[in-house]
Amino acid sequence: MQRRHLLSTGAALGLGASLPARAQSGWVPTRPIEIVAHNGPGSGPDVFARAVAAALEAEHLAPVRLQIANRVGGGGATAMNYIIDKRGDPHVLGVWTSLWMSLPLVQAEARALTTDMTAITRIAIEPALIVTRAESPHRTMEDFINAAKARPGGLRQSGGSPTARDNLVRQLLMAKTGARWSFISFPGGGERISAVLGGHVDIMIAEPSEAGEQVRAGRMRVLAQVTSARLPGFPDTPTLTEAGFAITDVVQARGLVAPPAIPAEAVAFYQDMFQRMAESATWKKYLDDNQFQGAWLSAADTATFFIEYQATLRGILQEAGVRVVR
């Protein structure tokens, strides 16, 4: 297993741009690889997929051409269904996000599950910041929690869908502390930030890229970071755990997945390819620029992650009173 692994990697690297297939030991792709993103050009998964492709090309890790396919629709279900329908085809990959695990839990029509797909890897985690406007009286997370306890339901958080990470963190915090505050869904990031800046809501759990500039300009303050280790850009703000609220279950992650029933050698090839990419300078720079954190998991570990995380999500969503259909 180990030797075939190395040989297949050697074959892949040694080939560069030329056609593969002289190496019999180990699988290499023989057609262009399609990388599927569940939303349109310019969206989160699309940009991520393009960054992955760009990094692979820059580091000469892919022996064939990579093309991005946007399979838009169904809130992500179209892309997921496409992956399932491409059973056995090792030349298709999909960029998965935590949405791929939460969507099937709440939408009966979304029939595709990540646990039915072939996990390849997890390569990034998105941290978050709990922010409030500069004029807010809350200076620490504890201030906010105490204020929320004093006025149950009186404080407000702006966010997205109730199945997204920001509500999940809220649910866990509320369960842990006994405080209660309301969650107001806005479809766009711009509206969420405006709600905080305008004083219409009290906090928001935002990505560093969304709120970073506001913090830098002094319009917003960070109460805590939702991450395992302090982000380089915010060395003075405690993480949630450091602040006394250990919430580690909710992870907003991204990675790659393949259709069900592809050959084991293909999985090994991809796992190795992405591992090399994750260690490359190009990729590390991408992570830094976008304030993501590297979180590489092997194929087997990713498969376990899918099962465990979906179960965790189910539990949290049921607690939150969201109707779970699976």
Buried b (16+ CB within 10 A) or exposed e, 223-255: bbbbbeeebeebeebbbbbebebebeebbbbbb
Does 162 help bind other proteins (rule: CB under 8 A)? yes
Tell me the HSE value of 272 on the side-chain side, using a 13 A CA sphere.
24
Q: How far is the CB of 263 from other proteins (least distance, A)?
A: 27
Q: In the range 215-234, which residues lie near other proteins by CB under 8 A?
A: 216-219
- C-alpha 305/C-alpha 297 separation (Å) is 9
Please say which residue, 107 or 228, places its beta carbon nearer to other proteins.
107
Q: In the range 26-65, which residues lie near other proteins by CB under 8 A?
A: 40-42, 46-47, 50, 54
Please say which residue, 72 or 147, places its beta carbon nearer to other proteins.
72
- C-alpha 99/C-alpha 39 separation (Å) is 12
Contact yes or no for 290/48 (Cβ under 8 A) = no
Taking CB under 8 A as the criterion, the residue among 16, 88, 153, 178 binding other proteins is 153
Tell me the HSE value of 92 on the side-chain side, using a 13 A CA sphere.
22
Q: How far is the CB of 206 from other proteins (least distance, A)?
A: 12
Does 107 help bind other proteins (rule: CB under 8 A)? yes
- C-alpha 180/C-alpha 175 separation (Å) is 9
Only segment of 25-33, 198-206, 265-273, 275-283 that touches other proteins (CB under 8 A):
198-206
Q: In the range 296-325, which residues lie near other proteins by CB under 8 A?
A: 322-323
For the chain, the maximum distance between any two Cα atoms, rounded to a whole number of angstroms, is 70
Q: How far is the CB of 72 from other proteins (least distance, A)?
A: 4
Q: How far is the CB of 96 from other proteins (least distance, A)?
A: 17
Q: How far is the CB of 267 from other proteins (least distance, A)?
A: 27
Please say which residue, 27 or 48, places its beta carbon nearer to other proteins.
48
Please say which residue, 50 or 230, places its beta carbon nearer to other proteins.
50
Contact yes or no for 213/224 (Cβ under 8 A) = no
For residue 118, which of 91, 136, 145, 158 has the smallest C-alpha distance?
A: 91
Rounded alpha-carbon distances, angstroms, from residue 37 to 63, 80, 166: 21, 9, 22
Q: How far is the CB of 200 from other proteins (least distance, A)?
A: 4
Only segment of 24-32, 141-149, 213-221, 293-301 that touches other proteins (CB under 8 A):
213-221
- C-alpha 191/C-alpha 159 separation (Å) is 9
Query: How is residue 302 written in tokens?
Result: 């990713």
Query: How is residue 19 written in tokens?
Result: 């056609």
Q: How far is the CB of 198 from other proteins (least distance, A)?
A: 4
Does 179 help bind other proteins (rule: CB under 8 A)? no
Would you tell me which residues interact with other proteins (CB under 8 A)? 40-42, 46-47, 50, 54, 70-75, 77-78, 81, 106-111, 153-154, 156, 161-163, 182-191, 193-195, 197-198, 200-201, 209, 212-214, 216-219, 322-323
